Amino acid sequence: MKEKPAIGVFGAGWVGLVTGACFAELGYDVVVRDVIPERIEQLRDGRVPLHEPGLGELLEQNRERLAFTTELDEIVSRPILFVCVGTPPTYSGDADLSAVWTVVDQLPALQERAILVMKSTVPVGTGEKVRAALDARGLAHVGYVSNPEFLAEGSAVRDFMNPDRVVVGAFAEADSEVVAGLYEPLEASVVRADVASAEMIKLAANAFLMTRISFINEIANVCEATGADVEQVAKGVGLDHRLGPHFLRAGIGWGGSCFPKDGVALKQLASNSGYHFQLLSAVIEVNDLQKRRVIGKLEKHLGKLRGKKVALLGLAFKPNTDDLREAPSLVLASRLLAEGAEVRAWDPVADASRLLQGVTFCGSVLDAVSGADAAVIVTEWDELQGLASEEVRGAMRNALIVDGRNLLDPEHARAAGFVYEGIGRAASPLEALPETEEREPQLEA
């Protein structure tokens, strides 16, 4: 049997930890290095610093093959070095590659052959620049491979273990062989490409997914204006084998650590190269507006929002994660506060208390909706499936649900005595909301 090469992973963030834990599970000896000592301490103590289903179990089961360190020396002797550091946006929208360059610049004068494998999402052309920098430092024997990740939060372990494809972009055939070989136990389809194309595959895949979401969200908005139901439309469209059913869930828009930053980074990359990527610009703008449409739905039924109590249910940018990066909940909460509403928020895992001032955080759904004029489903957590209950209705001042994720069955919610507004679904008539003393006259549209 071939001996498995030892792996080093730069970055103990979400991508680095999932990558490290999964390779350990596949039998590789892995060391994960991070510059934050507390994070490494936590991991050594068996504590997982983020919420990702299955990750804790993998880290635990593979303890003897997984080490965590802050020391550069303990990682750079390994033949495979994955780069899984953050590439956040700069003020200009370009990706900030300082953490990537720190890794490259810190590599010592390696005697042995090694391969630097880029998993971080980087602009097209980064590999070329890193290659030149390595060559200039006399490290021509260090290979460079682009191997982007396609992991979705909340299902990252499953995505890693069952990839649709593994993309390997290399300058040298031999490096491509080695990196593709690491994934052999997964029996996945491997797409071999040049480095620039591998970098673009990642950006294009994300942009296409975002385009689908903004597309269905605009269809939803037209459905609202014309009386169609986007859920039925998405089903009918998605069954066309040329289109497929995925990423056609209408809602209040995307958030997260990837789409917002990678979308802007691709738009910026294009414009830096002299091309105006009009479609992507529109896709991003549609998403920005989509997050705010909930306000209009609330005003339709409640009039001015000053003094109104609104329960935001779910804060994470999607279920099964505690990630609040670019979450629509943050925009929504800020807009509601700006309108003078009282915001009560609930999420089973995400803690937004440091990000949102002036919001009341509640320990349960019932607490959040208590005395509320409206309940807004922001994240489709399982716990919210039963929201349209008698108990919740009894606790609310106005039985209004705005379902930002089309989680509930409208018929059921209405039968349970709620006024229900979804996204791209037939709207509730205005008069359906029982009058309360606090209710003010309707705002003009």
Rounded to 5 degrees, φ, ψ at 419 are -85, 130
Closest to ligand UDX by CB, 61 or 385: 385
Tell me the window of 173-181, 248-256, 265-273, 344-352 that interacts with ligand UDX (CB under 6 A): 248-256
Q: Is position 223 annotated as part of the catalytic site?
A: no
CB of 441 to ligand UDX, least distance (A): 33
Q: Of residues 196-215, which lie at the interface with ligand UDX (CB under 6 A)?
A: 206, 209, 213
What tokens appear for 278 in the block? Answer: 């009009």
Does 52 sit near ligand UDX (CB under 6 A)? no
DSSP 138: T
Does 249 sit near ligand UDX (CB under 6 A)? yes
CB of 246 to ligand UDX, least distance (A): 7
CB of 256 to ligand UDX, least distance (A): 3
Does 347 sit near ligand UDX (CB under 6 A)? no
For residues 82 and 9, the answer to whether their CB atoms sit within 8 Å is yes
Give the CA radius of gyration of the chain.
24
What tokens appear for 426 in the block? Answer: 């037939």
Does 314 sit near ligand UDX (CB under 6 A)? no
Tell me the window of 20-28, 247-255, 276-284, 302-310 that interacts with ligand UDX (CB under 6 A): 247-255
Torsion from C-alpha of 389, 392, 398, 401, nearest 10 degrees = -60
Size of the site for ligand UDX (CB under 6 A): 19
What tokens appear for 53 in the block? Answer: 């289903």
CA distances for 34 relative to 10, 13, 51, 312, angstroms:
6, 8, 18, 35
CA dist., res. 332 & res. 219, Å (int) = 21
Tell me the window of 41-49, 177-185, 246-254, 363-371 that interacts with ligand UDX (CB under 6 A): 246-254
CA dist., res. 217 & res. 233, Å (int) = 12
How crowded is residue 3: how many other Cβ atoms within 10 Å of its Cβ? 5
Catalytic residue, chosen from 84, 223, 258, 362, is: 258
For ligand UDX, the binding residue among 160, 317, 381, 418 (CB under 6 A) is 317
For residues 81 and 75, the answer to whether their CB atoms sit within 8 Å is yes
CA dist., res. 138 & res. 211, Å (int) = 43
What tokens appear for 51 in the block? Answer: 């919420």
Task: Give 187's contacts (C-beta < 8 A, 6+ positions apart).
Answer: none
Does 344 sit near ligand UDX (CB under 6 A)? no
Quote the strand ranges of 240-353, DSSP E. 309-313, 342-346
CB of 327 to ligand UDX, least distance (A): 8
> What is the contact mask toward ligand UDX in residues 133 to 172, using x (rule: CB under 6 A)?
----------------xxxxx-------------------
Does 82 sit near ligand UDX (CB under 6 A)? no
Does 247 sit near ligand UDX (CB under 6 A)? yes
Residue ranges in contact with ligand UDX by CB under 6 A: 149-153, 206, 209, 213, 247-249, 251, 254-256, 258-259, 317-318
User: Which residues are designated catalytic?
Assistant: 258
